[in-house]
């Protein structure tokens, strides 16, 4: 099983908060283009999202179902006049609303996560889907806010973090489908199992980001990542992977965009921090693709990774 949804939700909120906290009043009023929302209006839209989803989460958790109206986003943003409000006040309001949401998600009974929810006459989805989709929507707009305030560097950081989260979701979807035997199965002695690939990704992220950028000790033993042949269940391996991703995201959420050109030596080779992040994201996507392919072959299942 993946880490508890409540912990995943709070971790996502904390990462977004770290990025939003660095935005200043001047940058918050600037639009990316004339016909777009400013960061203040984007944050106001996220406040609206928290308010609307609070009702959905609570009612679905208490009643076992939810059916309610959609959200006319432009009219809500205009009516609140978010563009004229101080950034610090908007941020504090957003933060308090999301802290309340974290408390709710922490307390939702597991059986209620499958509660059917229908919004604005759309197709029904589960409460767990709404919770996960809330984070996807949140980080999409946080990336836009950071890009508007910090330019290309901020966009690079936000998108890199988005891909780390997405690949983590894909790995979780794969590992929850596998038995322990399938996790460690090798097609040939010289090939790696899915378990080996996941451990290898953990070692890479810790060496390049947690150590290379975050400054933690380099504890990697690369050969052990490929030598492992069992002894850990899919749930145990997934817990290690998700903990590693969380640590990497924590480092990146505290990294100011202006430090991207600083040099680091994660593997005794000097690179810019931007290069280190780019290496990790590309490396992660490469091996997650292998994990997805192998999982489909082993299980014969559609993993339903695409969410329209």
pLDDT of residue 2: 41
Q: Given this model, what pLDDT does residue 36 score? A: 83
- C-beta separation of 48 from 100 below 8 A: no
Tens of pLDDT, residues 220-270? 999 999 999 989 999 999 999 999 999 999 899 888 888 999 999 998 889
Task: Tell me which of 110-114, 151-155, 164-168, 248-252 is least confident.
Answer: 151-155
Which of 121-125, 191-195, 243-247, 303-307 has the least mean pLDDT?
303-307
Pair 168, 193: CB distance under 8 Å: no
Distances (CA, A) of 171 to 3, 110, 159: 12, 22, 18
Quick one: pLDDT at residue 32?
Answer: 63
- Split at pLDDT 50, 70, 90, the class of 307 is low
pLDDT class of 13 with cuts at 50, 70, 90? very high
**What is the average per-residue pLDDT within 163-190?**
93
Phi, psi angles (nearest 5°) of residue 222: -60, -40
Helix 5-21 vs helix 127-175: angle between axes, to the nearest 10 degrees? 100
pLDDT of 89: 96
What pLDDT does 308 receive?
A: 53
- In angstroms, the CA 39 to CA 87 distance is 9
pLDDT more than 70, % of the chain: 97
pTM of the model: 0.66
Mean pLDDT for all residues in the chain: 91
Rounded-to-integer distance, Cα 158 and Cα 153, Å: 9
């Amino acid at each position: 099983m993946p880490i508890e949804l409540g912990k995943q939700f709070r971790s996502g909120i904390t990462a977004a908060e770290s990025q939003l906290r660095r935005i200043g009043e001047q940058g918050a009023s600037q639009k990316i283009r004339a016909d777009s929302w400013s960061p203040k209006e984007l944050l106001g839209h996220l406040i609206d999202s928290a308010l609307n989803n609070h009702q959905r989460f609570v009612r679905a958790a208490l009643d076992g179902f939810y059916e309610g109206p959609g959200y006319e986003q432009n009219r809500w943003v205009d009516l609140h006049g978010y563009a004229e409000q101080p950034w610090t006040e908007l941020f504090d309001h957003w933060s308090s609303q999301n802290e309340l949401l974290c408390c709710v998600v922490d307390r939702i009974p597991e059986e209620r996560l499958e509660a059917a929810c229908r919004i604005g006459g759309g197709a029904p989805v589960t409460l767990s889907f709404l919770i996960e989709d809330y984070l996807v929507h949140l980080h999409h707009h946080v990336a836009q806010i950071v890009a508007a305030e910090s330019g290309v560097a901020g966009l690079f950081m936000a998108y890199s973090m988005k891909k780390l989260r997405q690949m983590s979701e894909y790995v979780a979807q794969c590992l929850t489908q596998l038995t322990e035997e399938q996790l460690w199965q090798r097609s040939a002695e010289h090939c790696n199992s899915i378990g080996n690939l996941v451990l290898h990704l953990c070692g890479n992220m810790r060496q390049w980001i947690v150590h290379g950028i975050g400054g933690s000790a380099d504890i990697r033993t690369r050969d052990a990542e490929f030598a492992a042949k069992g002894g850990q269940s899919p749930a145990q391996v997934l817990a290690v992977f998700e903990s590693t991703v969380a640590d990497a995201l924590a480092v990146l959420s505290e990294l100011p965009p202006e430090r991207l050109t600083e040099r680091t030596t994660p593997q005794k080779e000097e690179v810019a921090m931007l290069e280190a992040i780019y290496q990790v994201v590309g490396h992660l996507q490469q091996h997650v693709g292998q994990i997805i392919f192998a999982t489909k072959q082993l299980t014969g299942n559609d993993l339903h990774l695409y969410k329209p």
